[in-house]
Chains A and B, each alone.
Chain A
């Protein structure tokens, strides 16, 4: 049996009168890709944020268990959660949210530099990832000079360059056309589960979800179904 890299139990989270998470339990195995689906307001992004240590739940626990040791994410303070995200997790957001004044290579290298890697080495590794994702020759372009798909691949490189064991993606293809979406998902899956890493994706898109190994359906802050794509 595959070991769980993320284990969430009895998660609750409320925002004012809204119960965003209502007793959620979820186990994510190392190396699998999980799609979280649901209507707007179903709690899927909140679940992703709680799993990633971005938001603290009101109650419940999230255990992160990489080969290096077990961490109770929910017991960590703000500073330690920041470090955990920097060192162990990678993130891909809907519109990339790259730093616009930095070049592609600097955006990717920034993630390594935050962990203390020297700039030269960081840019060397960043260049390798950009090449692997089909962006060779575009390293010195600013984000505004890249297409939406290219920018999203830079974001994937940024998420992967630190060797993150879990990648969280929030609507990674939400701002792209269907052809580019397919390309970006190819890149995302190839660079994560293709390398033995774990991927958790929040999406509205059935085609994106269908490419993952498991789909979790959410409604009103609860997991209401789980399926394996055909």
Chain B
């Protein structure tokens, strides 16, 4: 029965093509990235020397960094599936379908979309294999043959993505089923406690002090440990501090808002600073990581004394960081697209009513754009600045000894922001449909 109803519901709805295309593109991107990283890791696993372990360890970190946003993306895609079929699912509920049936239909649809996207991702991966094979590690190209995965392993990844999408869908649906209006009906905008700032300042101060000892003739392994612990601690603090800073920014914007778009945007941010942060937090963390790792590696390369093994490892870490940063930005752009499409569908009655009142779609679009881009600029530039601050003793040196790596980081950050902009732009047709009258 569930299969039959799902098939009936699979016809195009009023939300348009973008709502199905966005999760498809998102899952395709995620799958392709996963396969590329696993392909690279496959090569690393063939190395059995001491340094080989470091490569395997870093590949694992890259995988973990990809799996976390993947599950968040799965949840967002499920929410979008539910919203896309909102009217039809509501009718089913009225006809007596149990929440379990509605959940099963939505999860099934979400999983089918995930599988479709994942298969597209496999094609993307296969097309990318020759290029990925050219990436140098340990002084030589990886080789296309080394990063090409066994078909069974590819199938397992597709299955894993589908499973993750299904599990995230079940979790993501809890909120939809409990309250169809989601967070919008909340009586009070949530508050963020100031204690977050105190903890953040303490950790950042501690890391700043610890960085003072880096470079004082310590062995590479100790330097890497200090930088690693500092990186982890400050990254955790960013998550703590992010929503608080976003809320503060929202309050300042609200006071200064002179136009409808700015007023709507400021209130949109204040409605849930946590959600606003979650949407762009990935970029903030990536910015932080890019500056931290880029600066650290740049300086260590310059002062490592020219040991060719150390230099090789440091260059390879830089390559890995760059790949992870690009992957992370791609994922954030997908997340922004999927989340925005779901948000528009959440609010389509409001958008339609605003259009009836005579609000131009351009004003709605400006408000929406500002709601995403303002926290994005603040958090990405802020995170990069915090990163540079805790690394101040090293950042100055990096600018002198390794200016190339600094400019590379700036370029990658700009590209990341542009990617998110593209993700946002991709959802404009969804808004235009939601606000279309007659």
Residues of A within 8 A of B (CB): 49, 52, 54-56, 79, 82-87, 89, 91, 93, 97, 99-102, 106, 110-111, 113-114, 118-119, 142, 144-145, 158
Contacts and interface: CB of A to CB of B under 8 A. Distances in A.
Given A55-B437, A97-B349, A113 B358 contact: no
Contacts of B263: 102, 106, 110, 113, 119
Nearest to B181: A100
Given A54-B438, A83-B358, A119-B257, A144 B264 contact: no
Contacts of B356: 52, 54, 85, 91, 93
Nearest to A116: B259
Contact of B264 (A86, A99, A118): A99
B363 interface: yes
B3 to A, nearest CB: 29
Contacts of A118: 258
Interface stretch (B26-34, B90-98, B266-274): B266-274
B349 A84 contact: no
5 contacts: A55-B437, A85-B358, A102-B263, A110-B264, A142-B189
Given A56-B438, A84-B358, A102-B263, A142 B257 contact: no
A85 B352 CA distance: 14
Interface in B344-390: 349-350, 353-360, 363
Nearest to A168: B356
Nearest to A109: B263
A12 to B, nearest CB: 14
A221 to B, nearest CB: 15
Contacts of A100: 184-185, 271, 350
A144 B267 contact: no
Nearest to A89: B358
Contacts of B257: 119
A151 to B, nearest CB: 12
B359 A142 contact: no
Contacts of B357: 85-86, 91, 111, 114, 158
Interface centre among A86, A89, A142 (most CB of B within 10 A): A142
Contact of A82 (B186, B189, B358): B358
A113 B186 contact: no
Contacts, number: 77
B187 interface: yes
Interface residues of B, number: 29
B184 A54 contact: no
Given A82-B360, A85-B356, A110 B187 contact: no
A152 B232 CA distance: 51
B225 interface: no
A102 B270 CA distance: 10
B150 interface: no
B188 interface: yes
B57 to A, nearest CB: 45
Contact of B259 (A52, A93, A113, A158): A113
A227 to B, nearest CB: 29
B260 interface: yes
A144 B186 CA distance: 7
Contacts of A110: 260, 263-264
Given A54-B438, A102-B267, A113-B263, A145 B358 contact: no
Contact of A54 (B260, B270, B360, B437): B437
Interface in B167-224: 184-189
B358 A93 contact: no
A97 B349 CA distance: 7
A102 B353 CA distance: 15
A102 B354 CA distance: 13
A101 B270 contact: yes
Contacts of B187: 142, 144-145
Nearest to B262: A119
Contact of A114 (B258, B271, B358): B358
Contacts of B363: 114
Contacts of A86: 357-359
Contacts of B267: 99, 101-102, 106
B358 A87 contact: yes
Interface in B321-355: 349-350, 353-355
Nearest to A93: B353
Interface in B133-192: 184-189
Interface centre among A86, A99, A158 (most CB of B within 10 A): A99
